[in-house]
A and B are shown apart, each in its own frame.
Chain A
C-alpha cells in the first residue's frame, strides 16, 4: 500500500460544495472504518499489514467483539492490545488462542468449514479485482520492484472472500496489470471457477475515495459508495478503466465514538493512521 496518507479533507476544493464543513477525519480513518463495517461478529479474518489491522481492530472493539483475527505467520486470535507493525510482530503472538506456523495459518485460510475473509493491499488493481504487488514493467527487468505476494495470492486463491485496500489513482486502478499476483475474478464471469477455484474472490475494494464492489454477473467493478465530499465522478476520473457509478451512494461518515476508539484505543501512536 502507499505510505502517503491522503486525507479526504485534502480533495480538490471544487469537489466539496461550500456548504459542507470540511470532514474532521482523514481518508485513512474513513477507510479503516468503512472496511471494519464489512466485518460481522463471529467472522474469521485474515489480516495483512497496515490499514487491514486498523479495520480488524476497530471492528473488534465496536460491533464484532467475537470476530477471530489471525495472521499468515501463524498467530491465531490475538487480542491486539497493541497494534502490530507487521504480520510477524510479536504482538500477533501474545495472549493469542494459539501460536503455530505458516502451514497451520494456511490451513485456516483454506479451511472448508470456515468463512474466512482476507484483507489485502496491492500496488495495482484491475476491473476484475486482480491485483499486482510484484513489479512495474517487465517481470525479469522491472522498473519498480515491490515486496511480492507474501500471502496475498494465497488468500486471494484460498479464502472465502477478500477485501482490498487501495489508494485511488489512474496508475493504481489500471486497465491492465503489469503482473497478476493475486487472483480476483480473473477475466470476469465464470473464469475464476474455470481456473480451478471453488470459492473466494474479491468482495469489495476500499479506497481513500470510496467503496467499490463487483457486479454479480459480469464481475466488473462498480462504485458502490463515495465518501462525503467526494463525488462519484471524481472516483471515475481517478480510475484507469471505465467504471459504473450509477449505483453509488454516500458512505455514512465515521461517528465520534468510532473515531475516538480508532484514535485513542487502536492506534494512539498513529503508527498506521499516519
Chain B
C-alpha cells in the first residue's frame, strides 16, 4: 500500500502546536492518568510560554496538572483527582494553589468526568449518572455564579431529578457535557496518515479528544500508514480528529509510556522533594523547564543511564525489577 502524505500541515514542533492551539484562557483537557502517559513535553512548553488563565478539565490527573498549576498557568480546574499514587497522595503544587486560593476548583468524580467528556463527544448537552447522590460532590459548587455563563462553564454544577422512566423515588444526577477547546494527549504511535495508536489503557483520552475542538497528539514514533492498517482493531483515533502531530520520544517523562518506558521513580522522588518547598520549586522550574533549550537537552539532563533503566521490557511493557523506592 502506498504511503499518503497525510500529515501535511499537521506535523509540527511542540512550540508550534502550543502556539497555535493553547491560548490564554482556553479550556484544555489533558490526557493520561496520574503517573501514566501525561503529555509532559506539551506541558513544559505551555509553562515556558507562560500561558495564563487556563481552564483545565481532567478526571485523574497527576504530573501534568501539578506542573501546569505550579507554573501559574491555570485559573480554573474541573477535576476528580489531583494525585500521583504513592509518589504524591495529593499533588503538592495543586494542594498549595487550592489552599492559597490561587485557583478555583470544581470537584467531580472519575465516572462523572468521563461521562461528561462522552456527552461532549456525542454533542449531547448533559448525561445522567447514579454517582454521588446525597454527597457534597453534587451539593457543593466550587465555581462562583458569576463565571457560570452556560458556555464553557455550566450554569450549574449538576441537576438532580427523579428518574423520568422508572420509579418516582429513584433519583438521577444530570451532568453537563464538556467541550474543551483543545485536548492534549501523548500516544505511542501515529501513522503517516495521522491515525493514532495507544498501547496499554486509553483512560478517557478517546472521549476527551472526541469532545474537543482541537486535538494535539505527541507520540513516541511516526510509523508507516500500512503498519497501523494491518491491525486496525488496535487503533485509537482516526486521522480526521487529529490537528497536530508532534513526534517527541520520551515525551511523557517522568510519567510512563507503556511498552516504551516506565515512570521514572528517581525524577518523581526528586519532584516530591522540590514541589513541597516554594524556593526549591522555583529552582526546579528554572532548571528543568524554563532553562531547558530543547527536548534533547531535557533528555540529557535525565541522563542516558536512567533512560535505559526505565526502558520497558518489550514483553512486560514496563521495566521489571526497576528500583521504585
Contact = CB atoms under 8 A, between A and B. Distances in A.
Contacts of A140: 142
Contacts of B81: 147-151
Contacts of A85: 35, 85-87, 263, 324
Nearest to B113: A102
Which residue, B82, B137, B172, B263, has most C-beta atoms of chain A within 10 A? B137
A74 B201 contact: yes
Contacts of A84: 85
Nearest to A271: B324
Interface stretch (A55-63, A86-94, A231-239, A256-264): A86-94
A103 B116 CA distance: 11
Contact of A100 (B99, B112, B136, B202): B202
B43 interface: no
A90 B131 contact: no
Chain B interface size, as a band, is 35 or more
Interface in B122-175: 130-137, 140, 142, 169-172
B76 interface: no
A175 interface: no
Which residue, B86, B263, B325, has most C-beta atoms of chain A within 10 A? B86
Given A102-B203, A154-B109, A196 B90 contact: no
Contacts of A116: none
B130 A158 contact: yes
A154 B137 CA distance: 11
Which residue, A3, A85, A180, has most C-beta atoms of chain B within 10 A? A85
B110 interface: yes
Given A85-B35, A149-B80, A181-B136, A154 B201 contact: no
B109 A102 contact: no
B47 to A, nearest CB: 21
A228 B17 CA distance: 60
A3 B206 CA distance: 33
B313 to A, nearest CB: 9
A191 B134 CA distance: 9
A86 B136 contact: no
A86 B84 contact: yes
B136 A74 contact: no
Which residue, B60, B82, B99, has most C-beta atoms of chain A within 10 A? B60
A143 B36 contact: no
Interface of A: 1, 3, 49-50, 72-75, 81-82, 84-95, 99-103, 106, 109-110, 130, 134, 139-154, 157-158, 179-183, 186, 191-192, 194-198, 269-272
Given A147-B83, A151-B80, A158-B131, 14 more contacts: A94-B316, A99-B200, A100-B201, A102-B203, A140-B142, A141-B101, A146-B90, A148-B80, A151-B111, A154-B132, A157-B131, A180-B135, A183-B135, A271-B86
What 6 pairs across the A-B complex have the smallest Cβ distances?
A: A86-B85, A150-B81, A196-B171, A147-B83, A88-B33, A195-B134
15 contacts: A49-B85, A49-B89, A84-B85, A85-B85, A88-B35, A88-B201, A90-B200, A90-B317, A91-B318, A101-B201, A101-B202, A103-B207, A106-B114, A181-B137, A197-B133
